Structure 1
Amino acid sequence: MSTPEQPWHAAYPKPISEAVFLPRSTVLEWFSSNDKLPGKYFVLVDLRRNDHEGGTIKTSINLPAQSMHPSIPALYTLFSSAGVSAIVFYCGSSQGRGARAASWMQDYINEKGDSNMKGFALEGGVKGWVKAGGKLLEMMDEYEEEAWKEPAKKQ
């Protein structure tokens, strides 16, 4: 009798912290703020791997979710050394990978007793970002409108 394949995240501990979802409007405000610069105040982490298409939010680093958990100590060291206050994780919707990564990061931040850094999941993920349109689309690199269109329904 075969057993169903385990999801990639089953190899890692369940997060203790509950994900805090950061509104898109807050990230947009940070982009236009002189004192909350990307890479200095906040870092965006795009967790998509196989579904990484259609563009990404400007300044994001791509760290596929499957490699996220073992990278947490190094990420924490890099980000804390740089004085980063907010790490914003996202995937397609931020309901799975984004929320899980934000929670894992927050668990590690809490373990370190760091009250200057917070882990967040981007509300609605990159799909919500694109769907909201307007100024948010201007804040994307390599945006491809075709990649975000719903596939045509069969007649």
Structure 2
Amino acid sequence: MASDQPPWHAAYPAPRRVATTLPSQELLQWFRDGKRDYVLVDLRRTDFEGGTIRGSLNLPAQSLYPSIPTIYSLLSQSNVKYVVWYCGSSRGRGVRAAGWFADYLEEQQDTTLQSLVLEGGVKGWVAAGPEYTELMSEYDESVWKELKSE
């Protein structure tokens, strides 16, 4: 049943910038190297089941846009250099959020922070195998097997 209502993101401007993509292999290397100058943001809300990449903040995309100035204020006062956004596949919410944050960084003329989108999202992370899933919190293999069979 199709809804006559516009999508949630229609209430906000489309991002002007396209954020850089971060390959999952590179993020895996950041974990291995003990890199600490990044923050991971999981944008999922109702599809959060199955676990999340360890250390991620959960900021559902539907409530993100009005929070960007506050998020920026907190991160700009930290040692964070990279904000890595992701959702299920990082083709909708992840790209949109990373673009919005990149727009805000440009408006602030901030070149110290970089907005990135995780290639393939959490689904790509899980599909990459055990060396990735062992870096997840609340990982539930049964949820991912169910998703594969759909």
Following the alignment from structure 2 to structure 1, what is the Cα–Cα distance between the partners of residues 143 and 19? 28
Unpaired segments ≥5 residues, structure 2: none
Deviation at residue 149 of structure 1 after TM alignment: 1.3
Aligned amino acid, residue 69 of structure 1: Y
With the length of structure 1 as denominator, give the TM-score of the two structures.
0.91
Q: Does 1:106 align with 2:102?
A: yes
Deviation at residue 28 of structure 1 after TM alignment: 1.0
SS in 2 for 1:32: helix
For this pair of structures, how many residues does the alignment match? 147
Higher mean alpha-carbon deviation, 17-26 vs 45-54, is at 17-26
With the length of structure 2 as denominator, give the TM-score of the two structures.
0.94
Following the alignment from structure 1 to structure 2, what is the Cα–Cα distance between the partners of residues 84 and 107? 18
Q: CA RMSD in A?
A: 1.4
User: % of aligned pairs identical?
Assistant: 54
Unpaired segments ≥5 residues, structure 1: none
- Counting only pairs closer than 5 Å after superposition, residues 1-150 of structure 1 correspond to structure 2 as 4-34=4-34, 36-37=35-36, 41-150=37-146
Larger radius of gyration: 1
